[in-house]
């Protein structure tokens, strides 16, 4: 896979480096750790569909957030951590798009192929790893986003509802 | 009599349940191996998953059709026979087959289970279809996407089985079941391994100007401009340069999806028994949206109402749609 330049065509991208990014990473890290452990425990079937890519490093890059996410879906030691973009690990595959789109894709509320066709979703690196991750998540019943929000009670659910309203409004405007 | 059954795709158990809940009359799916033409990584069913899925579908009055629609290479037919035996044991309602040997095995071993002839068999003449009906007891043919509606009507008069046509989804037709383009570049076979453009051989590269090129086995097959919609990385939909076309052109097909929502009444009138939605490789979101849309449209037509046709363009490849050969042989 070649990646000949930084992303230039996603709008409103935050830098994802420097002090602000590092502070943001520190702030969300405890949440991410809880989230990935919870999902791994509740949805063990994900790992079978990942096959040999359980130890692949994925870089999930929500373009408007000040950091990227490093995911290694290893059932023995799952990793989900926020990383400044200038400190991101060398990833086997990178998935890039707006945060709310990525959230809807995790929950199968949006279709990954359609997002790819419309160029709202960008994939680089090991395509098979990405396809396996997509299929693994798509076989999960229910909403991972809602499960995650529920971990933080009413405030968590309120934040998710607000994010979804923002996404719906954004889609309506487009 | 046309019952306008909706035949819907399921790549995972969750997608199967989604299709059933969205109003599928039947769902088609496959095992996690080369016995079906969507042998993609992380997709499809284990026998245990299929058992649970058959129970779920049958509880809700939905049939399950098992795709065994690839061609066994010499000496490897046991995989297809075992898949048929497993499917029969789990209670599937029909097998979708392309290979005569597989059809013959099922007809002899599991004569109580319906045989449907896959589009991969590319049976497009009454003579060919009758051959499958007479020799293997085929009850339904899935027609290749190269026929006009008048041709389908004529075929229906001359065959003793039901007709199923695609109505939505991928429009990579070529000569179905005989396409070897993937083999040339990857060494893997769409028809025998079940993989068209295997993901392990696909790369995407993005460039400074925002364009994105797609490659298969190291060969660039398209480059989409920054503002251009994209398509699947399949050779048949590649855009190539040639001495007389230096700017590049779609030599075979182009990134576009079939959408026959406006032709449903004519297809029913022509005697089409079942409508197939392509897309076992797609998400639950796609399955939910497309199945619901066509469920509503078919129900409207059956009730004598004008069909309300939902806008599905956002789910189409390249965000373009066509009625293909069903409208005219000059679709390209």
Among A2, A5, A139, the residue with its CB nearest the CB of B12 is A139
pLDDT digits (tens, 9 = 90+) for B162-174: 999 999 999 876 6
Q: Which residue has the higher pLDDT, B174 or A24?
A: A24
Token representation of residue B43? 């997709």
Among B14, B206, B226, the residue with its CB nearest the CB of A139 is B14
Per-residue pLDDT at A9: 52
Q: Is B299 helix (H, G, I), strand (E, B) or coil?
A: helix
Per-residue pLDDT at B112: 97
Q: A6, A114, A118: which to substitute to probe chain B, counting the most B Cβ within 10 Å?
A: A114
Q: Which residues in chain A touch residue B234, judged by CB atoms under 8 angstroms apart?
A: none
Average pLDDT over residues B190-211: 94
Cβ distance of A124 and B206 shorter than 8 Å? yes
Q: With a cut of 60, say whether residue A50 has pLDDT above it.
A: yes
CB count within 10 Å of CB A105 equals 22
B5-171+256-327: CATH architecture? Alpha-Beta Barrel (3.20)
Percent of chain A with pLDDT over 70: 90
Average pLDDT over residues B18-23: 98
First-to-last alpha carbon distance for chain A, in angstroms, is: 31
Say which range, A160-164, B155-159, B295-299, has the weakest mean pLDDT: A160-164
- Contact between residue B29 and residue B44 where contact means Cβ atoms under 8 Å apart: yes
Torsion-angle region of residue B6: left (phi > 0), alpha (psi -120 to 50) or beta? beta
DSSP chain A: ----S---SSSS-----HHHHHHHHHHHHHHHHHHHHHHHHH-THHHHHHGGGGGPPEEEEETTSSSEEEEE--SSS-EEEEE-GGGPPPPSEEEEE-HHHHHHHHTTSS-HHHHHHTTSSEEEE-HHHHHHHHHHHHT--S-HHHHHHHTTHHHHHHHHHHHHHHHHHHHHH-
User: How far is residue A107's CA from residue B289's CA, in Å, rounded to a whole number?
Assistant: 15
Q: A117, A121, A123: which to substitute to probe chain B, counting the most B Cβ within 10 Å?
A: A117
Ordered by start, the domain boundaries in chain B are 5-171+256-327, 189-250
Cβ distance of A139 and B314 shorter than 8 Å? no
Cβ distance of A108 and B212 shorter than 8 Å? no
Percent of chain B with pLDDT over 90: 89
Percent of chain B with pLDDT over 70: 98
Q: With a cut of 60, say whether residue A13 has pLDDT above it.
A: no
Among B17, B43, B212, the residue with its CB nearest the CB of A135 is B43
User: How far is residue B332's CA from residue B328's CA, in Å, rounded to a whole number?
Assistant: 9
Closest CA relative to residue B326, chosen from B267, B248, B251: B267
Neighbouring-strand partners of residue B276: B7, B166
User: How far is residue B210's CA from residue A5's CA, in Å, rounded to a whole number?
Assistant: 9
DSSP B21-67: HHT-SEEEE-BSSTTSTT--TT-SB-HHHHHHHHHHHHHTT-EEEEE
Give the ranges where chain B is alpha helix by DSSP (H). 13-22, 47-59, 78-90, 100-109, 126-136, 149-158, 181-186, 264-269, 284-302, 324-327
Distance from CA of B150 to the nearest CA of A (A): 33
State the Cα torsion B179-B184-B187-B192 to the nearest 10°.
10
How high does pLDDT run on average in chain B? 95
Residue given tokens 């679709």 in the structure block: B331
Give this complex's ipTM. Answer: 0.94
Cβ distance of B14 and A140 shorter than 8 Å? yes
Q: Quick one: pLDDT band at residue B2, thresholds 50, 70, 90?
A: low
Q: Which residues in chain A touch residue B202, judged by CB atoms under 8 angstroms apart?
A: 127-128
Q: With a cut of 70, say whether residue A2 has pLDDT above it.
A: no
Q: Quick one: pLDDT band at residue B98, thresholds 50, 70, 90?
A: very high
Closest CA relative to residue B327, chosen from B142, B147, B124, B144: B147
- Classify the C-alpha dihedral B85-B86-B87-B89 as positive or negative: positive
User: How far is residue A112's CA from residue A5's CA, in Å, rounded to a whole number?
Assistant: 23
A8–chain B Cβ distance below 8 A for any pair: yes
Q: Quick one: pLDDT band at residue B213, thresholds 50, 70, 90?
A: very high
What phi and psi, each to the nearest 5 degrees, are found at residue B117? -90, 120
Per-residue pLDDT at A145: 86
Per-residue pLDDT at A11: 52
Say which range, A18-32, B106-120, B217-231, has the weakest mean pLDDT: A18-32
What phi and psi, each to the nearest 5 degrees, are found at residue B243? -50, -35
Closest CA relative to residue B155, chosen from B128, B176, B136: B128
Enumerate domains of chain A plus CATH numbers.
18-142 (3.30.1050.10)
Q: With a cut of 60, say whether residue A6 has pLDDT above it.
A: no
B108-137 in b/e form (b: 16+ CB < 10 A) is: eebeebbbbbbbbbbbbebeebbebbeebe
Per-residue pLDDT at A7: 41
Cβ distance of B285 and A111 shorter than 8 Å? yes
B180–chain A Cβ distance below 8 A for any pair: no
Average pLDDT over residues B141-148: 95
Per-residue pLDDT at A4: 41
Average pLDDT over residues A11-18: 65
- Contact between residue B121 and residue B98 where contact means Cβ atoms under 8 Å apart: yes
Q: Quick one: pLDDT band at residue B94, thresholds 50, 70, 90?
A: very high
Say which range, A39-48, A157-166, B11-20, B269-278, has the weakest mean pLDDT: A157-166
Token representation of residue A119? 């160029």
Average pLDDT over residues A153-169: 84
3-state helix, strand, coil in chain B (%, to 5): 35, 20, 40
Per-residue pLDDT at B33: 97
DSSP B93-116: SEEEE--HHHHHHHHHH-TTSEEE
Cβ distance of A1 and B205 shorter than 8 Å? yes
- Contact between residue B301 and residue B4 where contact means Cβ atoms under 8 Å apart: yes
Cβ distance of A119 and B229 shorter than 8 Å? yes
CB count within 10 Å of CB B288 equals 18
Q: With a cut of 80, say whether residue A20 has pLDDT above it.
A: yes
Q: With a cut of 70, say whether residue A14 has pLDDT above it.
A: no
B43–chain A Cβ distance below 8 A for any pair: yes
- Contact between residue B180 and residue B189 where contact means Cβ atoms under 8 Å apart: yes
Q: Quick one: pLDDT band at residue A5, thresholds 50, 70, 90?
A: very low
Torsion-angle region of residue B318: left (phi > 0), alpha (psi -120 to 50) or beta? left
Per-residue pLDDT at A163: 83
Residue of B nearest to A5 (CA): B208
């Amino acid at each position: 896979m070649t990646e000949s330049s930084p992303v230039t065509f996603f709008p409103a991208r935050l830098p994802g480096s420097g002090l602000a990014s590092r502070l943001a990473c520190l702030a969300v890290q405890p949440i991410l750790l809880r989230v990935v452990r919870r999902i791994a425990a509740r949805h063990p079937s994900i790992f079978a569909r990942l096959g040999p890519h359980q130890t692949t490093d994925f870089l999930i890059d929500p373009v408007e957030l000040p950091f990227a996410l490093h995911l290694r879906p290893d059932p023995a030691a799952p990793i989900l951590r926020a990383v400044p973009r200038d400190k991101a690990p060398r990833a086997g595959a990178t998935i890039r798009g707006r945060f709310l789109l990525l959230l809807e894709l995790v929950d199968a509320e949006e279709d990954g192929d359609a997002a790819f066709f419309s160029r709202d979703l960008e994939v680089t690196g090991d395509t098979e790893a990405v396809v396996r991750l997509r299929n693994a998540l798509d076989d999960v019943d229910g909403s991972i986003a809602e499960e995650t929000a529920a971990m933080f009670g009413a405030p968590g659910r309120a934040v998710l509802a607000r994010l979804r309203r923002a996404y719906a409004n954004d889609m309506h405007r487009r | 009599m046309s019952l306008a059954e909706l035949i819907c795709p399921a790549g995972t158990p969750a997608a199967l349940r989604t299709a059933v809940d969205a109003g599928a009359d039947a769902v088609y799916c496959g095992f996690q191996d080369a016995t079906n033409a969507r042998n993609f990584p992380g997709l499809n069913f284990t026998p245990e998953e299929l058992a649970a899925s058959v129970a779920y579908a049958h509880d809700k009055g939905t049939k399950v059709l098992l795709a065994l629609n690839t061609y066994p290479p010499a000496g490897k037919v046991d995989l297809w026979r075992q898949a048929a035996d497993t499917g029969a044991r789990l209670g599937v309602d029909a097998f979708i087959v392309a290979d005569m040997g597989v059809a013959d095995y099922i007809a002899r071993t599991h004569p109580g289970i319906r045989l449907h002839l896959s589009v991969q068999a590319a049976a497009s003449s009454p003579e060919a279809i009758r051959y499958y009906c007479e020799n293997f007891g085929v009850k339904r043919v899935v027609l290749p996407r190269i026929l006009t509606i008048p041709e389908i009507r004529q075929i229906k008069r001359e065959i003793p089985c039901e007709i199923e046509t695609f109505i939505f989804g991928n429009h990579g037709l070529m000569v179905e079941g005989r396409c070897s383009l993937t083999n040339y570049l990857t060494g893997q076979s769409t028809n025998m391994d079940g993989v068209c453009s295997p993901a392990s051989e696909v790369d995407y590269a993005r460039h400074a100007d925002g364009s994105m090129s797609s490659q298969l086995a190291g060969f660039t097959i398209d480059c989409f401009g920054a503002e251009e919609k994209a398509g699947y990385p399949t050779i048949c939909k590649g855009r190539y340069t040639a001495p007389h076309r230096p700017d590049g052109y779609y030599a075979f097909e182009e990134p576009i999806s079939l959408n026959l929502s406006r032709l449903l009444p004519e297809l029913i009138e022509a005697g089409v028994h079942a409508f197939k939605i392509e897309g076992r490789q797609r998400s639950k979101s796609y399955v939910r949206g497309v199945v619901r849309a066509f469920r509503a449209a078919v129900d409207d037509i059956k009730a004598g109402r004008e069909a309300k046709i939902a806008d599905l363009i956002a789910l189409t490849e390249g965000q373009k749609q066509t009625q293909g050969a069903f409208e005219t042989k000059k679709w390209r």
